[in-house]
A and B are shown apart, each in its own frame.
Chain A
């Protein structure tokens, strides 16, 4: 029992929240183990942010309980806040203060001792590639740098649980890579990370995913197992006119779903052995060469669309 409790970083039970007539979150239940990177994936309005804010203790759930690092957030929000860190989509930085002053401010709010604060901020700024910008005003940083500074501020008190709400939205690829490098390092040191993301490649990097829709968690598993759970099989068809191809393929017998993926079309069918020849015939009629169609492994986006029956958020 003790071992199990120690192993659990976040436990949400029967979590519900309504805003007026809108049920933002309905009876959400999940458990995140220590050291996991747990992803919340779902379209806008699925309830990701609401769940995060409840976990962070800034929003009171209508019903349900939350345990973060063994602390009941509902009963002891102040104690829980010392162990977790929450980074909203846009981290609140004081733009008139410098990078170092922002870090100092957030460190002091969490009563981080001076020595520890200095050591940690040096380490984090180095990891974020931001050491040369200590004295720059936060308002003069680029979007990616602001987001990294937000992460540094959020990590200054060495939280055991990190909640990140779409942390890399609007961040350039280089900063995104830095960002993920920091997250992997954190996981190494035993920090549990729960993040929401609109990027499917980021979802793929998570150890487990919860697929949200309409305030409910529909599926919750590792990316690999979610892919296995996807009904049917997938073919990728390369085409110079993917949109026309999508229209042609959609609605053919046995086709469960068609998804545009750049210059290719992903076609999900119920029975690959039976449908492949049918598709080849169809393509031949359209003048698409035979080699253009290939069986392919599903990505998270395919799974997402197949399981939730709709377009992915991106």
Chain B
């Protein structure tokens, strides 16, 4: 058995070596995507195009405007003269946000009344809108606080009228709330899944297409020897991918890795086995590489969306939440983020690791059974 397995492996690596572009095709897309994702995949909102209409033209209103200009979050693209300008700016996508300070703003403040401030937001991109609104609230709160302290400072000895609860937040594991720290481990898992599933599916379907699969099956090799010979190289490639992309994330994007490399290796191995099983399963349903491509597209994208990579699983409809239970990426993302950022070990991650092990076993078993059938 080892002879046949080793000759399969020898053949695989020989083919890989013959293929001059193989190494490039295996590594370059990963690094490039990692780089692009690393910079692009972020919820942080900067330089929001903002239009301002100041109908009050008071010291207070100018001071409020300067609060907005002071941060890099907002770029004032238009100082409007009337309401029509504002409407046009938003409609023409010149501005995403418009801040309208109505006449009487300063007077209301002077008189200690609450002064209304109008904010118009382009809700087309609800995510950006929501985040920008959050920043606006912060800035306005800061402005109110400044106004209040100025109002009271001349009268020495008086106590500010409101004693509120002071909220002091301190996020754990990612104190700067840098969402790159959240995304980069996710990107590592996602890219590995995409690559390993498609490589495995395509490699086997190719043997079927070229006719070498049938040729091998008339030899005394057993199906599981063939499958092992076909999957071991991709397992190693997958591990190499994860190591490479992780190192890149740590060195280039300075994402901390405070957990144990061994826990990572264990999680990655189980995850890769599940991904290989998935690729193998797809290959048994495909006669041609086109079919494999279509199936790959059909399955891998939902696995990516329904993994918790960007969209919280808890917010999904129940039916989709159940579907995520068979998604290996869902579990691996928990593991990889925890190992990177929290540094927790098996004691905490065992449910995810166990789920990955069960999924890997199920997918591999299913695919081996299907593979036997698909030979006829």
Contacts and interface: CB of A to CB of B under 8 A. Distances in A.
A58 B214 contact: yes
A96 B18 contact: yes
A: interface residue count bin: 20 to 34
Contacts of A91: 211, 215
Contacts of A78: 220, 222
A153 B211 CA distance: 14
A82 B220 contact: yes
Contacts of A90: 211
Interface stretch (B3-11, B26-34, B90-98): B3-11
Contacts of B218: 56-58, 81, 84-86
Contacts of A86: 218
Interface string A101-112: 100011011110
B14 A88 contact: no
A93 interface: yes
A313 interface: no
Interface string B320-345: 00000000000000000000000000
Contacts of A111: 3-4, 220
B211 A60 contact: no
Interface centre among B15, B207, B220 (most CB of A within 10 A): B220
Nearest to B7: A108
A257 B3 CA distance: 58
Nearest to B22: A96
Interface string B200-227: 0000000100111111111111100000
Nearest to A163: B218
A130 interface: no
B19 interface: yes
A93 B212 contact: yes
Contacts of A101: 11, 14
B146 interface: no
Nearest to A85: B218
Contacts of A278: none
A95 interface: yes
A110 B215 CA distance: 12
B281 to A, nearest CB: 21
A92 interface: yes
A85 B219 CA distance: 8
Contacts of B15: 94, 96-97
B11 to A, nearest CB: 5
Nearest to B376: A59
A88 B211 contact: yes
B375 interface: yes
A96 B3 CA distance: 22
A137 B19 CA distance: 12
B304 to A, nearest CB: 31
Nearest to B3: A111
Nearest to B216: A109
A94 B11 contact: yes
A281 B211 CA distance: 57
B375 A58 contact: yes
A57 B213 CA distance: 14
Contact of A109 (B7, B14, B18, B19): B7
A60 B376 contact: yes
A109 B219 contact: yes
Contacts of A93: 210, 212
Contacts of B14: 96-97, 101
B219 A110 contact: yes
A92 B211 contact: yes
B219 A106 contact: yes
Nearest to A95: B210
Given A78-B220, A109-B4, A109-B221, A96 B19 contact: yes
Given A58-B375, A106-B215, A111-B3, 8 more contacts: A85-B218, A94-B212, A96-B14, A96-B15, A97-B14, A101-B11, A109-B4, A109-B216
13 contacts: A58-B214, A58-B375, A81-B219, A88-B215, A90-B211, A92-B207, A92-B210, A92-B213, A94-B212, A96-B15, A96-B19, A97-B15, A101-B11
Interface of A: 56-60, 78, 81-82, 84-86, 88, 90-97, 101, 105-106, 108-111, 137, 153
Question: 10 closest A-B pairs (Cβ-Cβ)?
Answer: A92-B212, A92-B215, A92-B211, A108-B7, A109-B219, A96-B18, A86-B218, A96-B15, A81-B220, A56-B218
